[in-house]
Chain A
Amino acid sequence: MSMIISLIVAAVTFGTVLMFGTLGEILTEKSGNLNLGVEGIMYMGGAFGLAGAFYYEKAAGAAASGPVAIILAILCAFAAGALASAIYSFLTISLRTNQNVTGLALSIFGTGVGQFVGEFMRLSEGGYVALGNNLKDAFSARIWPDALVNIPVVGNILFSHTVFFYLAVVLAVAMHFFLGRTRWGLYLRAVGESPSTADAAGISITRYKYLATIAGGGISAIGGMVYIMTTAGCVWNHEGLSGVGWLAVALVIFCMWRPLNAIWGSVIFGAMMIMYLRVSIPFIPTEIYKILPYVVTVIVLIITSMRNSRDKQPPASLGLNYFREER
């Protein structure tokens, strides 16, 4: 039992990273844009988030406060991701470039920018870029009082996480209501499902696509920052983020494009990625554990396409650009 609890708690740490990445991509894909640049976006979020907190600490010295650093890191990461997605949006929406190719280009570009910024900070700071212990603790601190954490079983599962986990959960719930209950959310879904119908109904396709994609990119980028600031120890890690963005893309499918599913989905994916350290099953080599998320995603993808049920499909226009004059 305690092993399962500790597995869940550990899974949440990496799951939080994925949850941000996935929620952002869900929002993007709901508008019909398949942004394959998540990998690059998360790299940029990680590098700029770290940079924001690092230079803030450098400027503020010992007076640096944890909450300010956290907010700055979130803002910097969001801005970096939003900027990267703005490039993607401009190209695919206004200049009508192919979404797959543009997304991959953004992956290459973003990875380059992230690594460049990380390396550049190291070179310009003479070798080592990391936050001081106080800020480091602030990023990985538990936010609930010990009394709650110490409740048997549920205490650890529910209350022992960092502030980022709760932010992500709030975001998921908010996004669920936004997409399902608000007019803007319905319009956004209409844009993703059937742009020509939405256009005829007077919804501005361009505006919704831009906003959803840019906001989505910003949210995904926060995931990269959370990775660097929690699991990687507030130090820039050259290859650390590689593959995380693609895993987030997989998780979008696993969650069937639903924000609420992302909450448990990300914990499951997080668990699969660390299970090799905690659960050893005879005859199954541990490396094989790490491909489980992808295998499961493929299976989900196949089953949904076979069952062909309407509400469990990718947005109908996913990956396709909308040209009014070709209507």
Chain B
Amino acid sequence: MRKLGLMLLALVLSCTMLFAGGAGETATTASADGTTTVKVGLICIGDENDQGYTYNFIRGRDEATQILAEEGINVEWMTIFNIGEDASCIDANIEAAEEGCQIIINNSYGFEPFMLEVVDDYPEIEFISCTNCASWNDGRDNTHNAFANIYEGRYIAGVVAGMKLQQMIDEGQITPEEAVIGYVGAYSFAEVISGFTSYFLGARSVCPSVTMKVMFVGSWSDATAESDAALALIDEGCVMISQHSDNTTPATAAQSRGVFHTGYNNDMTGIAPNASLIGTRIDWGIYFSQAIRAYVNGEEIPQDWCAGMGEGAVVMTPLNEAIAAPGTAEKVAEVEAALADGSLEVFDTSTFTVAGETLTHAYALDTDGDFTADSEEAVYDGAFHESEFQSAPYFTVQIDGIEWLNSAY
């Protein structure tokens, strides 16, 4: 046995000699024609088949490649798909680093703690964790965060949904009390709470009688559970479905039951033409191109990047005119303008109550690592200021009118 082991070891080692070499240079290479090549790793929780979250990142990736190519920057991407929010993320980051990536982008919230296990071994590589928030006080120079004000897009999607519900009420299809939105959420934490609250406030701004039920599925990406949750919500009487989860199955569930839907991450009107009204998504191409450009030019990648509709970082997908309520497009344009010029605050504290009271106080940041915000007052000037102190959302208040059907997640 041992002799054989030795033999095979020798074989393996000789193979290694043969195939070793290559890989390993890490500096940006400027070629003769004046273009620069940079290698960027993108670690994804799913793949394009979700037609949602990860697909949206891939679109951002391709868009950034195009933008930068025109400036003479070639981006060589290394995309790693289907990584779980677990230790496989450590391995994926090591893999990307060893294979010569100069920037490594982690696309899911739960990747960050695992990414942080790797960053100190590769101080020359820039690590970006999208949608998370550790970089501001982790004491490292090579970690970054990024997110966009998706709550603005959700507010507008909410307006579209609210107009549809109001139309149904006006036409007598449902009573005012039956205007119930069902929301499929991934987890009961800030990013999701902030999202569905803004969505709800958007809907209520045009349909005063609306209420909302939220169901959490306990996963960012679980096509079946998302579908099951949407169906359960519809069975509970919801006539409008929206989602903060990665797949398109809530849209197909809505379509199959003849209720309406607004999407996230992607235009879902092709998949559910009779149900999906509009969607909103983050345009990651804006950030990716900025970050990579900064790296190539030797500038700092922003420690925490955040932008909104004004900068084009949050966009609406095309409105499904065939089924949307009349006048929706005009209303959307009006709200977009109001958000851009600052005359409209999404979390205007006069538009919602918490246990019957107006919200006057909420902290934004967690400084001692106990996962409860304890500094920086977010409520001032009559509004809760989301994503101002850090890009990752921190709105965790449960407002009146939204019922959580389960909260264990």
Contact = CB atoms under 8 A, between A and B. Distances in A.
Contact of B232 (A10, A129, A236, A287): A10
B215 A277 contact: yes
B249 A232 contact: yes
A285 B408 contact: yes
A161 to B, nearest CB: 13
B82 A236 contact: no
A214 B54 CA distance: 38
A94 interface: no
Given A133-B273, A277-B215, A128 B224 contact: no
A305 interface: no
Interface string A272-292: 001011101000011100000
A239 B47 CA distance: 11
Contact of A286 (B232, B252, B273, B406): B406
Contact of B256 (A2, A10, A119, A140): A140
A129 B51 CA distance: 10
A232 B51 CA distance: 13
B49 interface: yes
Contacts of A233: 223, 227, 247-249, 252
Given A128-B55, A232-B223, A285-B408, A133 B271 contact: yes
B49 A235 contact: yes
A119 B218 CA distance: 25
A89 B46 CA distance: 35
A122 B229 contact: no
B17 interface: no
Given A130-B51, A236-B49, A278-B232, A231 B227 contact: yes
Given A277-B406, A280-B406, A3 B51 contact: no
B16 to A, nearest CB: 25
Contacts of A278: 232, 235
B187 to A, nearest CB: 13
Interface string B24-64: 00000000000000000000001111110001001000000
Given A10-B228, A133-B273, A274-B228, A237 B256 contact: no
Contacts of A127: 48-49, 55, 58
A262 B252 CA distance: 29
A312 interface: no
Contacts of B82: 238-239
A6 B46 contact: no
Nearest to B235: A6
Given A10-B232, A136-B252, A276 B224 contact: no
Contact of A240 (B224, B228, B235, B406): B224
A27 to B, nearest CB: 26
Nearest to B219: A239
Contacts of A285: 408
A238 B46 CA distance: 8
Contacts of B273: 133
Contacts of A119: 47, 81
Contact of B231 (A10, A128, A130, A133): A10
Contacts of A287: 218, 408
Interface range on chain B: under 10, 10 to 19, 20 to 34, or 35 or more? 35 or more
Nearest to A241: B224
Interface string A247-288: 000000000000000000000000000101110100001110
B337 to A, nearest CB: 34
B323 to A, nearest CB: 15
Contacts of A6: 231-232, 235
Contact of B224 (A2, A232, A236, A286): A232
Given A276-B406, A286-B408, A287-B218, A237 B232 contact: no
Contacts of B286: none
Contacts of B228: 10, 14, 231, 274, 277
Interface in A138-180: 140
Contacts of B223: 231-233, 235, 237, 240
B217 interface: yes
Contacts of A240: 222-224
Interface in B221-271: 222-225, 227-229, 231-232, 235, 247-249, 252, 256, 271
B49 A277 contact: no
A129 B227 CA distance: 18
B405 interface: yes
Contacts of A238: 46-47, 49, 81-82
Interface in B129-177: none
Contact of B48 (A3, A122, A232, A274): A122
A119 B81 CA distance: 10
A277 B232 contact: yes
B51 to A, nearest CB: 6
Contacts of B248: 233, 235
A133 B273 CA distance: 9
A140 B256 CA distance: 9
Pairs of residues from A and B, 7 with the lowest C-beta to C-beta distance, nearest first: A6-B235, A127-B48, A277-B232, A238-B82, A231-B224, A233-B249, A286-B408
Interface of B: 46-51, 55, 58, 81-82, 84, 215, 217-218, 222-225, 227-229, 231-232, 235, 247-249, 252, 256, 271, 273, 405-406, 408-409
27 contacts: A6-B231, A6-B232, A14-B228, A118-B49, A119-B47, A119-B81, A122-B48, A122-B49, A127-B49, A127-B55, A128-B49, A231-B223, A231-B227, A231-B228, A232-B249, A235-B49, A235-B50, A235-B223, A237-B224, A238-B81, A240-B222, A274-B232, A277-B225, A277-B228, A280-B405, A280-B406, A286-B409
Given A129-B49, A280-B405, 13 more contacts: A122-B47, A127-B49, A127-B55, A128-B51, A128-B55, A140-B256, A233-B252, A236-B49, A276-B406, A277-B215, A277-B225, A278-B235, A287-B218
